[in-house]
Amino acid sequence: MTESDDSIPGPPPLMELARQLLSERTRPRPRLPKGYEKTAIPRDICSPKTLSRLESGRYRGVKLGTVLALLNFYQTPHDLVDRIATLTKAARANDWCNHYASVLDDGGWFYQQCEDNASYLAFHSYSVFPSLLQGPAYYRMIRDTTKNNFEGEIDWDQGLEFRMERRERWIESERPALMLMGEAALRIDLGPEGDEILADLRKVADLPFVDVRVIPYSAGRYDLQPWTLKLLEYEGGEETVVYVEAPRGSGFVPVDSTRGKFFTSGLKVASGHSIDLEDFLK
C-alpha cells in the first residue's frame, strides 16, 4: 500500500464505510457531546494515523477485525454492526456489486446511504413515477391497486413514512436531479386522487434543481425502456453508483463495466428523446 493509493477514492462500499466509522466515532454520548477524539481510541485497536486512513475512504488495507474492534469500543448497535461488517467485506471484494447481490437482509440500507450522499441523481422509470416523485396520493394509489405481493404483508403506513422522509431529505438538500418517465406513467388511470397526484408532481417539478421529463410514445422503443434506473454521482472523484431494477431482479452494476456503459449510454439516449413535463401536460 503506497501513499498514492490512499489518494484515490475507494469503491462505494469503502467510501460509505468511512462515513459510517466517522459518524459512529463522533456521535454524541454522555459527557462526550462531540464523541471521541482520535487519540482516545485504544492503540491496541489502531493508531490515530490508521484511524484517519480508515475514515478517509481511500485506505484499501481495511481489516474486518479492526473495524469490529472499533465498533465494539463505540458500542455501536448490533444491527448497524452487521451492516458495517457487510460494508467492510464488500470493500475488500474484487467485485463489490456482485458481493451485494448476495446480501438478502440489507433492506436497501446501503443503497439509501449512497442516495443520501450523492451530489447528483438521475432516475428513469417507464410505467411508474420515479420513486422520489411519488407523493402521498400516488403511494395511496399503489396501495389501493396492489392485490398480490410476493414479499408478504406490507406495512403501508411505515412505507409511506419512509418514502416521504426520503423525499424530504432530497428536497431539503436541493441536490440537482434528472427524473425521466415514460408517457405510460401519466396515461395510466391514476385513480380518484389523480388530480392531487398531478398537482404534487407539478409542485416538485417546479423546484429549481429538478428536471422532470417525459419520454413520449412517439419516441418508440428505446434501450432503457424495460429498466428502472437510479444513477448517483458524487463530488471528489468518487465512483458513480448505478442501481437497476427489472422483473427478473435488481442490483448494483459497475459503472465502468460493459453493462454499466449500456445503462449510462442508455440514459443519455432516453433523455434525448424526452420533453419537459410542462410541455407534455399542455
Considering the chain, what percentage of its residues have pLDDT values greater than 90? Answer: 82
What pLDDT does 2 receive? Answer: 45
What pLDDT does 138 receive? Answer: 97
SS (H, E, C) the chain: CCCCHHHCCCCHHHHHHHHHHHHHHHCCECCECCCCCHHHCCCCCCCHHHHHHHCCCCCCCCCHHHHHHHHHHHCCCHHHHHHHHHHHHHHHCCCHHHHHHCCCCCCCHHHHHHHHHCCEEEEEECCCCCHHHCCHHHHHHHHHHCCCCCCCCCCHHHHHHHHHHHHHHHHHHCCCEEEEEECHHHHCCCCCCHHHHHHHHHHHHCCCCEEEEEECHHHCCCCCCCCEEEEEECCCCCCCEEEEEECCEEEEECCCCHHHHHHHHHHHHHHHHCEEHHHHHC
What pLDDT does 250 receive? Answer: 84
Q: How does pLDDT run across 116-153, given as a tens digit for each residue?
A: 999 999 999 999 999 999 999 999 999 999 988 766 67
**Between 102 and 156, residue with greater pLDDT:** 156
Q: How does pLDDT run across 45-70, given as a tens digit for each residue?
A: 999 999 999 999 989 889 999 999 99
Q: How does pLDDT run across 238-280, given as a tens digit for each residue?
A: 999 999 998 777 899 999 999 999 999 999 999 999 999 999 9
Considering the chain, what percentage of its residues have pLDDT values greater than 70? Answer: 94
What pLDDT does 116 receive? Answer: 96
What pLDDT does 3 receive? Answer: 44
- What is the mean predicted confidence (pLDDT) over 186-212? 97
What number does CATH give the domain 109-281? Answer: 3.30.870
Q: What is the mean pLDDT of the chain?
A: 92
What pLDDT does 6 receive? Answer: 59
What pLDDT does 4 receive? Answer: 42
- What is the mean predicted confidence (pLDDT) over 165-179? 97
